[in-house]
């Protein structure tokens, strides 16, 4: 044993080293490196996010700049309705490559595109600018203009294709100015209306129900529960309804409609009340008040539109191969040949010769595509038409009956009795009047117009179906009518001036009291969309109808059995409410309504179709497309 006191030298040992000696320093240094990396990553992300945010902002602003270009062009149109007719050299947004013949600015196919600033006070290159090109080739025929507008912001580009146009009756499946019966309807008013508020003196002095007509004895028409209107409905008047279906929105200038709220019990205020208790199924779409919209009586303008112009009553059958067969007899047109008016950029239409039009076979010619067919008064043959004088296919000539005016002239006619379509005795149906009788399968785009009336003697269907490219308009100064022939027997007998009791020394043509429907009319055509007859019973009219002074109605709607369904695929606009059917104590007569809106009308319209008097240019449709490479600099 060693002892300290004995001078033994003691030796001290250093503590043993552990395995984790120095780890703390490494941990500190590593943590600092990680933090530094995180800081650098955050900085890089922040810088990248800033760039991405800037890109997103510029990309979004490019679309806003394009929209500004659309609004800018529309504002120019609303200041000058014909702004699209020529290039405005003072507008830099229109500058660009184009044929020298299209402008007076000196622009050629090598001209650099021009840009207009969204903010005129900020013209810096990175600031929002827009450029547009314009296709106005259908502005006169369809009333639409196609804009291709590119917005540019700080090197980012967005391009929008837009269709702009003016509103018209084709915005709605159904439009009326007045909801009372047409004062010219002899079935509704056998002796004419007795009050100016009903239209006795014309529509200028007529009144809406909500402004005073309620106290007049007018013939008021009701929508019934079987009526279906699939599309927007507009009336300047107060509509009378008993459970009708309005499936696409209901708009009215009836001031009571301002009281309609989200509470559906208030929606009836948009219909006629005043003790009438109108009801309707609005299909959960709240009806709305709107300022009035007015039809423009532009019927006289059609004589100047390009296409085929005929004189006197005319018969047309459309054929599925893109042709039409036309009859226009020389005894009707006064030997006036049709006039073929050419449209810019389109071939001169073929309208047939006098000899062809007068023949039993008629003139078969191409449909004047993107133009009009107009029938004017001939100022001759102001008389009833002979049997077959309007022409038509074998076995289906018009008018129906055995009347021959050449035998009924003078004081002693050679025939003392005849049967004749009662509607054809109306003064408006005289042979020299501008009436158009039409049916068939249309292949093309055309508007039918008449100085008097258009009469549908059969289905009018579209060869390409209801979703193809074919489209037709029917514009009449007077009426558009559904053919319903009712033959009436007449006799040359001794009667007084009113065909009353016998005993007078005067002879008169008087009705014998016998009337009967003629089967097989209207003529049915297979619907290319369904492959069958649609509707199964009734008539189809696939077109946009507009009557500029009167109405759309069914001839002799009170007479005979129920005719089925009147199916209109397109739009209807009329000055007065036309009557198409009637429910009475003796049963149902005429047609139920099925009106379905053609959604193609949102961006297009039949050629030269009229617009609202108070219409403004507006955006109809837009969608983004790829930016043309030549605009990227």
Question: Cβ(622)–Cβ(163) under 8 Å?
Answer: yes
Tokens standing for residue 444: 């093309």
Confidence of residue 405 (pLDDT cuts 50, 70, 90): confident
How many whole angstroms separate alpha carbon 389 and alpha carbon 203?
Answer: 34
Question: Cβ(492)–Cβ(518) under 8 Å?
Answer: no
Among candidates 201, 202, 245, 195, which has minimal Cα distance to 220?
A: 195
Whether the predicted pLDDT of 70 surpasses 90: yes
Residue 569 pLDDT: 98
Whether the predicted pLDDT of 3 surpasses 90: no
The residue among 591 and 27 whose pLDDT is bigger is 591
Question: pLDDT tens-digit profile of 457-485?
Answer: 999 999 999 999 999 999 999 999 999 99
Residue 352 pLDDT: 98
Return the number of other C-beta atoms located less than 10 Å from residue 602's C-beta.
14
Question: pLDDT tens-digit profile of 335-378?
Answer: 999 999 998 888 999 999 999 999 999 999 999 999 999 999 99
Question: Cβ(84)–Cβ(77) under 8 Å?
Answer: yes
The residue among 124 and 583 whose pLDDT is bigger is 124
Confidence of residue 27 (pLDDT cuts 50, 70, 90): low
Question: Cβ(474)–Cβ(462) under 8 Å?
Answer: no
Question: pLDDT tens-digit profile of 507-566?
Answer: 778 888 899 999 999 999 999 999 999 999 999 999 999 998 999 999 999 999 999 999
Phi, psi of 198 (to 5 degrees): -90, 0
How many whole angstroms separate alpha carbon 178 and alpha carbon 187?
Answer: 18
Residue 297 pLDDT: 75
How many whole angstroms separate alpha carbon 571 and alpha carbon 567?
Answer: 11
What's the residue count for the chain? 633
Whether the predicted pLDDT of 160 surpasses 70: yes
Whether the predicted pLDDT of 33 surpasses 80: no
The angle at the Cα of 80, spanning 547 to 345, to the nearest 5 degrees, equals 70
The residue among 24 and 76 whose pLDDT is bigger is 76
Whether the predicted pLDDT of 23 surpasses 70: no
How many whole angstroms separate alpha carbon 98 and alpha carbon 119?
Answer: 26
Residue 13 pLDDT: 44
Whether the predicted pLDDT of 4 surpasses 50: no
The residue among 298 and 577 whose pLDDT is bigger is 577
Q: Omega before 399 cis (within 30°)?
A: yes
Domain boundaries, the chain: 49-167+620-631, 174-186+188-289, 294-615
According to DSSP, the β-strands at 453-462 and 486-494 are unpaired
Cα dihedral 278, 279, 282, 285, rounded to 10, equals 70
Residue 7 pLDDT: 39
The residue among 308 and 344 whose pLDDT is bigger is 308
Q: Kind and range of the H or E element at 296?
A: none
Whether the predicted pLDDT of 497 surpasses 90: no
Whether the predicted pLDDT of 308 surpasses 80: yes
How many whole angstroms separate alpha carbon 86 and alpha carbon 579?
Answer: 46
According to DSSP, the β-strands at 507-517 and 436-442 are unpaired
Return the number of other C-beta atoms located less than 10 Å from residue 272's C-beta.
23
Residue 491 pLDDT: 87
For residue 212, give Cα distances in angstroms to 199, 215, 217, 219, 238.
13, 6, 11, 14, 11
Confidence of residue 122 (pLDDT cuts 50, 70, 90): very high
Residue 49 pLDDT: 47
Phi, psi of 250 (to 5 degrees): -130, 125
Average pLDDT over residues 305-325: 98
Phi, psi of 190 (to 5 degrees): -55, -35
Question: Cβ(154)–Cβ(58) under 8 Å?
Answer: yes
How many whole angstroms separate alpha carbon 609 and alpha carbon 580?
Answer: 24
8-state DSSP, 180: B
For residue 622, give Cα distances in angstroms to 101, 153, 161, 618.
29, 20, 6, 11
How many whole angstroms separate alpha carbon 139 and alpha carbon 135?
Answer: 9
How many whole angstroms separate alpha carbon 325 and alpha carbon 126?
Answer: 61
Question: Cβ(115)–Cβ(123) under 8 Å?
Answer: no
Tokens standing for residue 175: 């439009």
Phi, psi of 557 (to 5 degrees): -65, -20
Phi, psi of 181 (to 5 degrees): -65, 150
- Burial zone of 164 (CB within 10 Å; 0-12 exposed, 13-18 middle, 19+ buried): buried
Question: Cβ(532)–Cβ(541) under 8 Å?
Answer: no
Average pLDDT over residues 133-158: 90
Question: pLDDT tens-digit profile of 243-270?
Answer: 999 999 999 999 999 999 999 999 999 9
Question: pLDDT tens-digit profile of 178-192?
Answer: 999 999 998 899 999
């Amino acid at each position: 044993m060693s002892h300290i006191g004995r001078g033994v030298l003691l030796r001290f040992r250093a503590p043993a080293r552990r395995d984790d000696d120095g780890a703390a320093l490494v941990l500190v240094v590593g943590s600092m490196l990680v933090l530094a990396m995180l800081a650098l990553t955050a900085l890089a992300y922040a810088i990248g996010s800033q760039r991405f945010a800037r890109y997103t902002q510029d990309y979004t602003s490019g679309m806003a700049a394009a929209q500004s270009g659309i609004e800018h062009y529309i504002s120019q149109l609303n200041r000058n309705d014909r702004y699209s007719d020529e290039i405005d050299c003072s507008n830099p947004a229109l500058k660009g490559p184009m044929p020298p013949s299209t402008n007076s600015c000196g622009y050629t196919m090598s001209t650099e595109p021009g840009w207009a600033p969204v903010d005129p006070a900020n013209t810096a290159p990175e600031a929002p600018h827009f450029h547009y090109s314009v296709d106005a080739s259908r502005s006169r025929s369809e009333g639409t203009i196609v804009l291709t507008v590119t917005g540019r912001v700080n090197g980012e580009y967005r391009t929008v294709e837009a269709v702009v146009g003016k509103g018209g009756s084709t915005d709605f499946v159904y439009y009326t100015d007045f909801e009372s019966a047409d004062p010219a309807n002899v079935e509704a008013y056998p002796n004419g209306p007795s009050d100016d508020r009903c239209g006795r003196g014309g529509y200028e002095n007529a009144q809406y129900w909500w402004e005073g007509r309620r106290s007049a004895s007018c013939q008021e028409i009701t929508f019934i529960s079987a009526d279906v209107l699939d599309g927007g409905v507009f009336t300047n008047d107060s509509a009378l309804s008993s459970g009708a279906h309005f499936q696409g929105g209901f708009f009215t200038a009836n001031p009571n409609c301002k009281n309609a709220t989200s509470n559906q019990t208030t929606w009836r205020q948009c219909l006629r009340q005043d003790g009438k208790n109108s009801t309707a199924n609005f299909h959960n779409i709240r009806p709305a008040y709107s300022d009035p919209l007015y039809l423009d009586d532009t019927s006289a303008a059609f004589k100047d539109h390009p296409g085929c112009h005929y004189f006197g009553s005319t018969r047309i059958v459309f054929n599925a191969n893109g042709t039409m067969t036309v009859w226009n007899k020389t005894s009707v047109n006064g030997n006036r040949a049709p006039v073929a008016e050419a449209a810019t950029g389109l071939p001169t239409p073929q309208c047939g010769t006098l000899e062809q039009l007068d023949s039993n076979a008629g003139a078969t010619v191409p449909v004047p595509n993107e133009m009009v067919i107009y029938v004017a008064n001939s100022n001759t043959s102001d008389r009833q038409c002979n049997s077959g004088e309007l022409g038509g296919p074998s076995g289906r000539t018009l008018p129906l009956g055995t009347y021959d005016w050449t035998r009924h002239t003078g004081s002693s006619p050679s025939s003392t009795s005849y049967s004749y379509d009662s509607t054809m005795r109306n003064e408006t149906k005289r042979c020299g009047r501008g009436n158009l009788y039409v049916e068939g399968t249309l292949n093309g785009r055309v508007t039918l117009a008449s100085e008097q009336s258009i009469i549908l003697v059969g289905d009018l269907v579209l060869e390409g179906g209801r979703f193809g490219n074919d489209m037709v308009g029917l514009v009449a100064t007077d009426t558009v009518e559904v053919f319903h022939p009712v033959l009436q027997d007449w006799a040359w007998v001794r009667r007084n001036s009113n065909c009353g009791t016998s005993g007078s020394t005067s002879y008169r043509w008087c009705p014998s009291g016998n009337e009967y429907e003629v089967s097989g009319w209207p003529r049915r055509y297979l619907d290319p969309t369904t492959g069958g007859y649609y509707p199964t019973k009734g008539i189809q009219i696939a077109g946009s109808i507009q009557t500029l002074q009167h109405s759309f109605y069914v001839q002799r709607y009170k007479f005979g059995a129920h005719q089925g369904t009147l199916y209109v695929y397109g739009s209807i606009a009329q000055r007065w409410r036309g009557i198409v059917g009637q429910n009475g104590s003796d049963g149902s007569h005429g047609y139920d309504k099925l009106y379905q809106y053609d959604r193609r009308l949102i961006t297009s319209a039949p050629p030269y179709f009229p617009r609202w008097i108070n219409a403004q240019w507006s955006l109809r449709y837009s969608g983004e497309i790829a930016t043309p490479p030549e605009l990227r600099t």
